[in-house]
Amino acid sequence: MTELQDTLDEFKRLFWQGRKLAITQSKLEKGIDVFNQAIKLAEDAGLVAEANLARACILEAESKWDEALQLLESDLFKQDLILIGLHWHLKGTVFAKLEEIRMAIECYQKAIDSPDYDTPGKAWYNMGIAYRKIKAYDKAIECYQNAIDTANYDTPSNAWNNMGVAYDMKTDYDNAIVCYQKAIESPDSHVHGKAWNNMGEAYMGKGENDKAVNCYENAAEFYTNTGESLFAEYAESRARALRIPEASRSAVEEEIIDQSAHAKRPADEEIIQDSQSVESRILTKIEQAGSDIYEQYHTKQGESGKDYILATLRGWSSSTPLISDSVRENITGGGYFLKWNGKGVVIDPGFDFIRNFDKQGFNANEIDLIIVTHNHPDHNYDLQSLDDLRYELGRRLESESDQKKWKHFLLLDEETHKSFTERRKNGKGYKAHHKPLRFDLARLDADSDECHDFRRLRAKSIPFCIKYFKTDHMLNSVGLRIECFNDGSDKPDLIVGYTSDTKYMKKLSNSKCLGGCDILIAHISEPDPAEYHKPKHVKKIHLGYRGVEKLVKACNPKLTILGEFWAGLADIRIELTQGLRKLCEPEKIIPSGTKLMINPKDKDNIKIRCTNCGRYCSMDDILVAPPAQKFGELGFVCENCRV
């Protein structure tokens, strides 16, 4: 046991030494050498999980954050890991690099709570930085203080300096100055220059420019002695500009002073209202606006009030929604929105999804999960915009509990997942604001009729069990079996099957894929002409006319929704529905449309909303009305609204 403990202690020493070196680009290679020593040490002792922990350190140091996270979340750490606290610490650091700040904070807390973790000061310090990034300054200050109060925390000067910055951001300059002074006085201090410079900023915020000059001079002296000439010149230029009386300063000197984020408190600024100036008119318009568009969205648009809804916010498929001419100006794309027990899931948000979603009275705060089944733009075009919209709306809320409501999950097919993660590498391109999860098809045989679960969501209070199966359409495309649960239910209270895009296969109708579903969403696309006079002809790539017929007869759902209509030739939505109703009698079949709203709460009494009066009626009481214009929106009308 003593030998094992000695090995673990040495591993921890190498872990922290490597991280200290790797944080500086010029010492990165030395840091990686230390991590390799840790790998060898662990492997020689049979500590496989610890060896992989050191490998994850190398990936993190090389800015390969997605690969590091994938390794840290792999099965390699589910057994035999002893240094659990270091695992959570490193995982928190990776999440922070990926700007998943809430996840980072959770990981740091788990590190602190781990009995084997003997450096809690480091996690408290990192947690303080994380809270500061999301402008939770009081929380940040609390974390920095916890780090300082930790007995074996070796760099309290860093915590004091960053605590000062947090107070600075609150415009509490007096407490900021106290913290900066303690950072300077700390025996371990290697942040003298930063602390003196920050103290100068704080004194400028207070309007005490003489004291600010003294601080900048001390900063310049420190940086000169350490050979950091660029920082020395920066501090000296501030001091030089402040020494000049205000009336005698040049424009350049004023600009140097104005570079300070704290040159004046916003509340103390005097804005001279010159009725003839452009600036005055700009300020007047801003004042008249009152609130920005994000604030207006939060205050004026509440939730739809629907806890149980299936909205087919999808008009047409493929790239036809991108074509705009006098005939096809009414063509829209879209996707699907399922809300069950107050939680919402968006499925395949393609062209125009956000517009259709908003038009039907839904709010972005109703989304808890976004699913994409394959990497075609009519299925994922609005994904990035939707992710960004929710991020922008959420981050503007003040309380942490309100911000947390805007956290959602992304569950993506492998190809779409790649397009997200590749753009996130090295900070280039678009960054998904919420960590994407992916469907894992590696364990599925191409001909398998098995359907695999995605169970982690229910543990997050999302009342769906997402099951998925491989389809025959494109690389790594999937179909879905969505099981919906009410509180306390062990068995699903509703099953929604979604073919997405696929050709017909017998396995689709088995009980692990689409068989036994209550509502079936079947993508028909444009049938082959041969299907209308050759019953055995089956379309390739998509279900087509005969594929839908076979699938509906085999699955026997309570309601079938036809989707993925193609607008390249003629509008035959009603005729296709009529034909399939005749072939599949007595099956209930209805065409999708951007106004189709279904209440699926009682699967034995599914109701559809009348687009005229808004009342939800039995399926038998709803008739489908043709569009007023070519390729326009279908109507769904109750018996009271028709003659």
pLDDT (mean) for 469-485: 91
CA pair distance 22, 29, nearest whole angstrom:
7
User: Of 242, 261, 241, 160, whose CA–CA distance to 201 is shortest?
Assistant: 261
User: Of 268, 346, 261, 272, whose CA–CA distance to 312 is shortest?
Assistant: 346
Residue written as token pair 């207006």: 296
Residue 348 has pLDDT above 60, yes or no: yes
Non-local (6+) Cβ contacts of 260 within 8 A are 201, 204, 205, 238
CA pair distance 587, 192, nearest whole angstrom:
77
pLDDT score at 509: 93
- Using CB atoms within 10 Å of the CB of residue 426, give its burial: 0 to 12 exposed, 13 to 18 middle, 19+ buried: exposed
Beta bridge partners of 454: 466
586: preceding bond cis by omega (within 30 degrees): yes
pLDDT (mean) for 278-297: 65
CA pair distance 318, 597, nearest whole angstrom:
23
pLDDT score at 302: 54
Residue 244 has pLDDT above 90, yes or no: no
Q: What is the pLDDT of residues 92-118, one digit of tens each?
A: 999 988 888 889 999 999 999 999 888
Q: What is the pLDDT of residues 507-564, one digit of tens each?
A: 999 988 999 999 999 999 988 999 998 988 989 889 999 999 999 999 999 999 999 9
144: which 2 tokens?
């920095």
**In whole angstroms, how far apart are CA 140 and each of 129, 243, 397?**
7, 35, 17
CA pair distance 122, 144, nearest whole angstrom:
10
529: which 2 tokens?
């002409």
The amino acid at 564: E
Q: What is the pLDDT of residues 272-285, one digit of tens each?
A: 333 344 555 565 56
Residue 616 has pLDDT above 80, yes or no: yes
pLDDT score at 395: 76
Angle between helix 229-243 and 251-258 (nearest 10): 120
Left (φ > 0), alpha (ψ -120 to 50) or beta: where does 306 sit?
A: beta
pLDDT (mean) for 597-612: 94
Give the chain's mean pLDDT: 83
Angle between helix 229-243 and 209-225 (nearest 10): 160
pLDDT score at 207: 87
629: which 2 tokens?
């214009």
User: Of 211, 205, 184, 185, whose CA–CA distance to 196 is shortest?
Assistant: 184
- Using CB atoms within 10 Å of the CB of residue 363, give its burial: 0 to 12 exposed, 13 to 18 middle, 19+ buried: middle
HEC-encoded secondary structure of 557-579: CCEEEEECCCCCCCCCHHHHHHH
pLDDT (mean) for 447-476: 74
CA pair distance 225, 547, nearest whole angstrom:
79
Residue 325 has pLDDT above 70, yes or no: no
Q: What is the pTM of this model?
A: 0.58
Q: What is the pLDDT of residues 126-157, one digit of tens each?
A: 999 999 888 899 999 999 999 999 988 888 99
Beta bridge partners of 495: 483
Q: How many CB atoms lie within 10 A of CB 402?
A: 13
Half-sphere CA count of 203, side-chain side, radius 13 A? 21
Beta bridge partners of 479: 469
pLDDT score at 22: 85
CA pair distance 431, 384, nearest whole angstrom:
9
399: which 2 tokens?
């309380």
Is 186:162 a contact under the CB 8 Å cutoff?
no
- Using CB atoms within 10 Å of the CB of residue 536, give its burial: 0 to 12 exposed, 13 to 18 middle, 19+ buried: exposed
CA pair distance 405, 434, nearest whole angstrom:
13
The DSSP result for 580-608, as a single string, is HHHHTTT--EEE--TTEEEE-SSTTS-EE
Percent of the chain with pLDDT over 70: 81
Identify the DSSP state of 65. Answer: H
User: Of 531, 475, 523, whose CA–CA distance to 501 is shortest?
Assistant: 523
Residue written as token pair 């939680």: 343
State phi, psi for 244 to the nearest 5 degrees.
-80, 130
The DSSP result for 342-394, as a single string, is TEEEEE---TTHHHHHHHTT--GGG--EEEE-SS-HHHHTTHHHHHHHHHHHH
